[in-house]
Structure 1
Amino acid sequence: MSSIRKNIIFTLTFLFVFVMMVFLLAQTVHDENHSVIQGNIVTLDNNWTVSYEDTTLENVILPIDLKLDESTVYKATTILSEAYKDSTHLLLRSSMQNINIYLDDSLIYTYEKNKDIRFGNTLASLWLLLDLPEEYEGKELTLVMESSVSFFSGIINEIQLGTPQMLVFNILKSELTGIITFAILFFIGVFLIITSFFIKLSEDSRVLYLGLWGVVTSIWILSEARLLQFFTGNKFIIGGISYMMIPLIGMFLTLYIKEAIIIEKRNKRLMRIIAILYACFLCHSMLFQTLGIQSFIESLNYHLILMVLMNLGIIIIMLLEWIDHKNERVKQLFNYMIVLAVTLLLETFTFYSERFSFTSQFLRIGILIFFGLLLKDYYHFVKDRIAIQKEHLLLEKLAYRDLLAGGYNRTAYERDLDVLLKKKKRFRLILIDVNNLKWINDNYGHKYGDDTIKKVYELMQETFKTIGRCYRIGGDEFAILMKNTDENIYKQCIKGLRKDLEICGENLPYLVDIAVGHSVFNPNKGDTYVKFYQEVDQKMYADKIKRKRRTQEIMYAKN
């Protein structure tokens, strides 16, 4: 095991032990409540009388689902005891219901669907926080409700009394896992979306789709946690966002699987079609809700059947990927989906065993784990892509690098020359050849010859680094491309280079000298670059012949 892995395991173990110790000590040293928000919450769950049509039920315990037909009016009454006198507010949740609340025979609150609004009129499940009138003790509290949605018709949710601060705090406290899950998914999702635009690690859009899936799933969780009213009071958003997120969750997960898991092009096309169908479901439900033809929840009843079939199609496509291509990523994703399957089974168990306090808790944890596993895959993907990019950069660097001189090679020269020629602008070409390199190799060895090549390139680079780029294009041949075509600047640079080489040769048993040819290429003259290069090359060889005899005489004199 590597030292890094040991450090990670040690750190996580330490943090786990620390958290457990804090928790145990907090439970042991518990004397009284010092919370800033204090107060009692009274749950009105007993002694209700419920009536509908010709039926009356006594001593009903809330919450209850009467399972009535849609638009059936039903009523619930109870007496507010004097024991509740310290409570100033009443909190209840309406489940897509019209509701009127009376204290004795006095109407203190009403919420009904506005029938005058035809387009976009949405019934929403809402928290209702009512300020109770003074001296309500001993009075009869009556709720009159009805819902046009059969699924919610007959539901009476839990009703609580208390201070507004405690009632709101209790909502947040009861949905703590929802808040945490929302925050993790939302902020990581936003981060992934942003990075997908600025960090391009591949040609596909898997990072974008994973981020979008995280964001829309977080919004769905926030809505299902009944917390949207803390962010907005818009009834359309509160009542519809949860239903709108469901097809988006399916669409973005499908697109992620298409990009990150599927290999075969035909299967990718099928996944794209499924994603488009999800988008069509979204458009259909929004259009029908807006026109008042069908509510979100009614559309969802039909869409869910089709979504199940589409998900089966996705599973079949992934199985074909595994059979045809032995795609290990498919196997891995199936393993991840087991987490969701287990949490769904736990959700089903808690629901049918009527342990409603745990409802949706397991699913949220399952979604977090599933998202974490996808993030783990993303981390390994990023790690591998960075390693590949580093390798490509290294290979590219080596492809344009002369290993002996330590600078640019002929390939880099041809690359940069091509850029200059495409721009059709004037530039100066300088060709340089080291004089008597063969003689140096023969008399002093190739090490001295190699050192000479390195030194010539080093001094060239130092002289021309701000006005041109230097290349080694052959054994003892060099080239310089200068965008600045000023003749005086060129002469000053060559003069300085020759002087530096002369100083360098003072500490050597031989003279380091160069032959130079140069000219300015003007693309507007109509000459080809090949012809221009030959002319510069001829100038360089003419200079070589001219300086060769002088160089040999000096070297013989030094020896």
Structure 2
Amino acid sequence: MKRQSHFILIIIICITFALSLLLSNYFSFSSLKLTSESSKSLNDNWRLGYYNEIIDLPVKLDIPTNTPYSISRILDDDFSLKQVICIRGSLQELDVALDDEIIYSALYESKGILTPPMASAWHLVEIPIESNGKELKITFKTPIRDMSGLINGIFYGSSSDLLFHIQQTYGWGFSASILILILGMLMIIIPVIFKHLRRWQFIDLGLFTVFISLWLIAESRMLQFFYGSPLILGSLAYIMLSVFPIPILFYIKENVIKGFKNIYNGLIILFGMNLSLILFLQFWGLVHFYDSVRITHSFIFIGLIIVILTLFIEMIKYKNKFAKTTLCSFGVLSIFGIFELVHFYFNDYTSTSFYVRIGVILFILIQVIESIFRLISYLKKSLEAEYYEKLAYEDRVTGGLNRMAFEKDLENIFSNPDLKNHLRLMIFDLNGLKGINDRFGHIEGDYAIKSAYALLSESFNGLGLCYRIGGDEYACVFTDIDINIIEKRIELLNEKIKTFNKTLPYTFGMAIGFIEYDPKLDETWQKMMHRADQKMYENKGLKNQSIIMVTH
């Protein structure tokens, strides 16, 4: 039930947004929307070619590819003043002439053996002062079948008015795409900063979000405001459309499904090959990006069907709850993707990427919320595992490290030659613990045990680790510490024991065995520990002393 709560949250958000739109239309408010009153339409009464046929824009004519076609009109009195006309070229070359004198030309240039892509772009053409009564003629040509004969709406005004008009019309889509891009970048950056996160889960989702946001930005008709390279303008959308499925396939393969790994590997390779194919076809002049987009669409459709089928099988066969959530999000994305394809193949380019934006936002929202739930569960399990691991290595009486931690650490040191060759080991024994227990009780005995560990930890703090390895036995482990420094700390321990003894009704003393690693004698850590024990027992005869006795 808790896992379904995020779906309820999404539904509530969508309903709230829809109600806000309905209420904004129901109530009458004074509009606060900024508008550009100075940009005007120039879409009516155009004469087509030499046929004197009058047409209004926008229009789609039946014109063969690579065939020039022209529209013309007489400019009215508004053009007695300086004006700028705004033309949207959709993968088209164009010439603008005033009384048959070309004043602007945007040609498709190919340099060298490589063929650059054609780019859809805005063209702002300055019309000279006192051009009223003159004939404005615009000629188009394109090798792209779907774009041949297409003439978009034309506007005029000042440059600032026209730029504001473009921003007003398409800025919302660009802004939404930028927000998606920022979200994707955050999903990549945050796991890098916070090391405990399951990094690749969020990075795969983040890469998917970044790639698809770049596609949306390229389709927003606003990229030209920030970047003017025809190569980027003409290729970004097609490249991103080819690569965005790859990270989401990685995400599903590594984080969602239990089977079908080879199928997903095959899909990843397929999209990689598709990217190589469309780049080869474009830059060798065989097929334009726009014409090869049908190949990409086919692969995306095939991949989507396979993903939905595998997720459905995972959900039914393996009772995979993560597959169920991912399937729902793909269902949402698929619905909006179908709307997008229908509009694209019916040549409705005005709403390009509109539906995908909505679908992507909902898809990402579902996946991010699901990932957060999974992350919380993962962190909870990690904290529990860390807690139980800590218990496993913690001594109950002293609160310090126990024998299990001691043996684990020594095994790790002996597996590393650099550490092993600089290993120094001390074994301690608390003298007279049985007598303390018998005479003063086990509570005082436990106090002596805790005190011994505290004195060792304080004395050797920063040099190595100390452990309680038995009832009255302790150990300290050092690596790459100068022996003179250790001996000074032993003297410090002696002083602390002397001071501590003054507070006790009994004699508090410890015996020590201190040895350095010897490759000839210490084949294993157990043998080294045995040597340290022997050194320590040599001092047991002096246990009536109140200070530590040292031999090494």
Q: CA deviation at 1:509?
A: 3.2
Q: Does residue 232 of structure 2 align to residue 237 of structure 1? A: yes
With over 3 angstroms needed to count, the CA separation of the structure-2 counterparts of 1:504 and 1:360, relative to structure 1, is same
Note the 1:25-424 alignment, pairs <5 A. Answer: 28=29, 40-51=38-49, 56-58=52-54, 60-86=55-81, 88-114=83-109, 117-197=112-192, 199=194, 201=196, 205-264=200-259, 267-344=260-337, 360-421=353-414, 422-423=417-418, 424=420
User: Quick one: distance in 1 between partners of 2:93 and 2:422?
Assistant: 81
CA gap of 1:177–1:373, structure 2 versus 1, over 3 A, is farther
**How many residues in Structure 1 have an aligned counterpart in Structure 2?**
531
Equivalent position to 2:437, from 435, 438, 441? 441
Instruction: Supply the AA of the counterpart residue of 1:48.
Output: W
Deviation readout 1:327-374 (Å, 9 max, x if unpaired)? 112221222234334445666898999998766434312211211221
Q: CA separation in 2, counterparts of 1:294 and 1:102?
A: 31
Deviation at residue 289 of structure 1 after TM alignment: 0.6
Residue of structure 2 equivalent to 1:450: 446
Question: Unaligned stretches of 5+ in structure 2?
Answer: 547-552
Q: Which moved more, 1:458-467 or 1:362-371?
A: 362-371
Change (3 A) 1:149 1:500: same
Cα distance in 1 for partners of 2:339, 2:527 equals: 81
TM-score, normalisation: structure 1: 0.85
What letter matches 1:186 in structure 2? Answer: L
Asked whether the 8 Å contact 2:73–2:137 carries over to 1, the reply is yes
Between 1:179-188 and 1:210-219, the stretch displaced more is 179-188
Q: What secondary structure does 2:371 align onto?
A: helix
Alpha-carbon shift at residue 224 of structure 1 (Å): 0.8
TM-score by length of 2: 0.86
Alignment deviations for residues 59-108 of structure 1 (CA, whole Å, 9 cap, x no partner): x2210111322223322112221135455211101111221111122111
Moved more, 362-371 or 193-202: 193-202
How many Å separate the matches in 2 of 1:27 and 1:85?
A: 40
Q: Percentage identity across aligned positions?
A: 30
Residue 79 of structure 1 aligns to which amino acid in structure 2? I
The runs of 5 or more residues in structure 1 that have no matched partner are: 552-559
Which moves more between the two structures, 416-425 or 465-474? 416-425
Q: Which moved more, 1:394-403 or 1:292-301?
A: 394-403
SS state at 1:272 partner: helix
| 3-state secondary structure, aligned to 2:49 | strand
1:356-400: CA deviations, max 9, x gaps? 876643431221121122111222233233223323332332232
Cross-structure match for 1:534: 530
Deviates more, 1:500-509 or 1:525-534: 525-534
Shift of 1:506: 3.5
The CA distance in 2 between the partners of 1:47 and 1:486, in whole Å, is: 95
Shift of the alpha carbon at 1:524?
5.9
Q: C-alpha offsets along residues 432-454 of structure 1, whole Å, 9 cap, x if unaligned? A: 11122122223332221111111
| Alpha-carbon distance, 1:320 to partner | 2.0
The two structures, once aligned, show a CA RMSD in angstroms of 3.5
With over 3 angstroms needed to count, the CA separation of the structure-2 counterparts of 1:42 and 1:432, relative to structure 1, is same
Are 1:468 and 2:461 an aligned pair? no
Distance 2:93 2:345 in 1: 28
For residues 486 and 86 of structure 1, the distance between their equivalents in structure 2, rounded to whole angstroms, comes to: 89
Residue 539 of structure 2 aligns to a residue in which SS?
A: helix
Comparing 229-238 with 333-342, which one deviates more in the overlay?
333-342
CA separation of 1:515 and 1:280: change in aligned 2, threshold 3 A:
same
2:503 equivalent to 1:507: yes
